[in-house]
Structure 1
Amino acid sequence: MGDSVGRVITGTGEGRHMGEIRESYLVAAESAVALLREPAVAAAWSKPSALNEFSVAGLAAHLAHQLVRIDSLLDDGGVPGEPVPLIEHFSRSPWVQAGLDHESNVGIRQAGEAAAADGPAALAAKAEKLFERQRAELPAQPRDKVVHLPWSGWSLRFDDFLLTRLVELVVHSDDLAASVGVETPKLPASVIDPVVELLARLAVHRHGATAVIRTLSRAERAPATISAF
């Protein structure tokens, strides 16, 4: 696992083929759009979600926002800097280990609630429109594309950023499904495997290899958590 996971995380170009990550993202994005159209989501729109201090509406909008992030970088004309490795990207991001009341997480929730203001049908329609554009344009993005993330202040390889959105789509699709009482979307190994690999590597980075190994193999010595975030 170590070698393959390391190559995926560092984005050196030696890991998963560029096309694989792009196709995996599109599969997860299409699934997320279908979930947003679930009648159960609209029915529970104003109710609390499975995430603390997030309504179903806000969580749904946060899920859809992952497509917004990608769309904003398709025509990116900015001049990116040297891309940082994915582990460093997560280490620098304040929301990763911040509490619910940290300004970064408060801002994420507020943005979700604001984006949901027009209701479930409008949100799903916007997400579907973005997906259709991305399905047409994503494969043609340059192989070596690097993008500047203005909300973070640093740059990533475009395909590394796609992998971060893939994680968000898979994790928050599960959150939303659990919130409204529907089955978590079934996704293929091409989607799940890179998500599990990235989360495992982040868990090792945060908690150490011993904690992760014990949790996976020795329940009697497992720590309280090995959460990646």
Structure 2
Amino acid sequence: MTKEIRKAYLLGAERAVHLLATEEVARCWGKESVLPGMTVGGLAGHLARSVLQVEWFLDGETVGTEPVSPVRYYARLVGTSLPDSALNVGVRARSEETAAAGPAAVAEQARAAWQRLAHRLGQEPADRRVAILHRPGEEMLLDGYLQTRCVELAVHLDDLVLSVGAHCQTPEATLAIAVDVLVAAARDRHGDQAVLHALARRERDADQALRVL
């Protein structure tokens, strides 16, 4: 499973790197994206961080705390659909910080990181842990963290494509992991009965149980 997760992640990251380097993204950098309150540049910065952060987290110091699963990583989130929630304000701030370097620099940073990761991930053991630097004290298994990055790549590749009118599709392997993680997070958060209603009886889906992000 480790090999499949890492391959799916690298395929998604490669697609993101190519999209970030397109003329469409550079031309629309300062315009509003399809996400309320976020520019195309900010969205591109957020997408790039799904490549950059993997390197940063690999270089962070771990202390051996119980690793957070990719399902719990998402299931516990609150305020995901509220633009002014603390979660989304923090995401936008980190994304704009990355975007401040400009489209060419962000694209190059992501490309260089992806190339290094294509080699590095093949050398890391299955039990490798990473520190979640924006949540001090938390750790994840590397493959679990890469599954969350597949979610972010799949979701935000789609957002950026729609924002700039580019032609780009997320790899099927990346999408499959993203869907598996998000459905499992929905089950964790709402329970199977609610998820069943969301899948088969939408008129009874009062909680929008499949909405995780």
Q: TM-score, normalised by structure 1?
A: 0.84
Alignment match, 1:159: 143
Shift of 1:145: 0.9
**Unaligned stretches of 5+ in structure 1?**
1-16
Partner of 1:11: none
Shift of 1:52: 0.9
After TM superposition, give the deviation of residue 93 of structure 1 in Å: 4.6
Cα distance in structure 2, aligned partners of 1:179 and 1:161: 26
User: C-alpha displacement at 1:210, in angstroms?
Assistant: 2.3
Conservation of the 8 A alpha-carbon contact between 2:12 and 2:150: yes
In structure 2, the partner of 1:196 is 179
The corresponding residue for 1:67 is 51
Give, in angstroms, the shift of residue 77 of structure 1. Answer: 4.1
Change (3 A) 1:149 1:118: closer
Q: Does the 8 A contact of 2:127 with 2:141 survive in 1?
A: yes
- The range that moved more, 37-46 or 27-36, is 37-46
Match of 1:100, as an amino acid?
A: P
Q: 1:136 aligns with which of 113, 116, 119?
A: 119
Question: Matched residues in 1 for 2:163 and 2:64: separation?
Answer: 38
Bigger shift: 102-111 or 160-169?
A: 102-111
Distance 2:127 2:60 in 1: 14
Aligned equivalents of 2:176 and 2:18: distance in 1?
21
For the pair 1:110 / 2:93, whether they are aligned, the reply is yes
For 1:187-226, list aligned pairs within 5 A: 187-188=171-172, 190-223=173-206, 225=208, 226=210
The SS at the match of 1:46 is coil
- Partner SS state of residue 147, structure 1: strand
2:20 is the alignment partner of 1:36? yes
Assess, with a 3 A threshold, how the Cα gap between structure 1 residues 113 and 186 changes in structure 2: closer, same or farther: closer
Kindly tell me the number of residue pairs found equivalent between the two proteins: 211
1:99 partner letter: L
| 3-state SS of paired residue (1:166) | helix
CA contact (8 A) 1:21 1:163 kept: yes
Q: Residues 117 and 133 (structure 1 numbering): CA distance in 2 closer, same or farther, change over 3 Å?
A: same
Does structure 1 residue 89 correspond to structure 2 residue 73?
yes
Contact kept in structure 2, 1:178 and 1:184, CA below 8 Å: no
Question: In structure 1, which of residues 148, 162, 173 is the aligned counterpart of residue 131 of structure 2?
Answer: 148
Aligned partner of residue 27 in structure 1, secondary structure:
helix
| Mapped partners of 1:92, 1:221: distance in 2 | 23
- The Cα of 1:73 is off from its aligned counterpart by 2.7
Contact 1:36–1:60 at 8 Å: present in 2 too?
A: yes
Any idea what SS the aligned residue of 1:126 has?
Answer: helix
The corresponding residue for 1:10 is none
Q: Deviations over 1:9-42 (max 9, x none)?
A: xxxxxxxx11110111000000000111121111
Residue 171 in 1 paired to residue 155 in 2? yes
Q: CA deviation at 1:224?
A: 6.1
Distance verdict in 2 for CA 1:79–1:222, change over 3 Å: closer
Asked if 1:57 is matched to 2:41, the reply is yes
Q: For residues 133 and 99 of structure 2, what CA distance do their matches in structure 1 show?
A: 23
**Native 8 Å contact 1:22 1:159 kept in 2:** yes
Q: In 1, distance between residues paired with 2:197 and 2:36?
A: 28
- In structure 2, what is the equivalent of residue 26 of structure 1? 10
Unaligned segments of structure 2, at least 5 residues? none
Distance 1:159 1:118 in 2: 29
Distance 2:40 2:116 in 1: 26
Percent identical among aligned pairs is 37
1:181 counterpart (154, 165, 190): 165
